[in-house]
Amino acid sequence: MKTIVIAIGGNSLIKDAQHMGVPDQYAAVVETARHITNLVERGFRVVITHGNGPQVGFILLRSEHSRGLLHEVPLDSIGADTQGAIGYQIQQAIGNEFVKRGLKKSVATVVTQTLVDKNDPAFQKPSKPIGQFYKKEEAEDRMRVEKWTMVEDAGRGWRRVVSSPKPVRIIEAEVIKKLVADGYILIAAGGGGIPVVQDENGNLSGVAAVIDKDLASAVLAKEIAADMLIISTAVERVCLNFGKPDQRALDSMTVAEARRYMAEGHFKPGSMLPKIEACIQFVTDSGHEALITCPEALPAALDGRTGTRLVP
Domains in the chain, CATH or no CATH each: 3-116+166-311 (3.40.1160.10), 126-162 (no CATH)
What is the pLDDT, as a whole number, of residue 57?
A: 81
Are 109 and 122 spatial neighbours (Cβ–Cβ below 8 Å)?
A: no
Catalytic residue of the set 177, 193, 222, 275 = 275
Average pLDDT over residues 125-151: 86
> pLDDT digits over 34-64, tens only?
999 999 999 999 999 999 888 888 888 888 7
Q: For residue 11, is pLDDT > 70?
A: no
> Is 10 annotated as catalytic?
yes
Query: Beta 3-8 vs 158-162: how paired, if at all?
Result: unpaired
Catalytic residue of the set 2, 10, 15, 206 = 10
> Is 11 annotated as catalytic?
yes
Residue 96 CB coordination number (10 Å): 13
Q: For residue 87, is pLDDT > 90?
A: yes
Are 98 and 154 spatial neighbours (Cβ–Cβ below 8 Å)?
A: no
Average pLDDT over residues 158-174: 94
Average pLDDT over residues 274-288: 96
What is the pLDDT, as a whole number, of residue 225?
A: 97
User: Per mean pLDDT, which range of 144-158, 258-272, 278-292 is the poorest?
Assistant: 144-158
Q: For residue 259, is pLDDT > 80?
A: yes
Q: For residue 147, is pLDDT > 80?
A: yes
> Is 190 annotated as catalytic?
no
Catalytic residue of the set 95, 213, 222, 307 = 213
Q: For residue 208, is pLDDT > 80?
A: yes
> Is 213 annotated as catalytic?
yes
Measured CA to CA in angstroms, residue 181 lies from 44, 110, 190 at distances of 11, 15, 20
Are 197 and 208 spatial neighbours (Cβ–Cβ below 8 Å)?
A: no
What is the pLDDT, as a whole number, of residue 63?
A: 82
Q: For residue 236, is pLDDT > 90?
A: yes
Looking at per-residue pLDDT, the higher value among 253 and 141 belongs to 253
β-sheet bridge partners, residue 7: 49, 231
Catalytic residue of the set 128, 157, 166, 206 = 128
pLDDT bucket at 68, cuts 50 / 70 / 90: confident
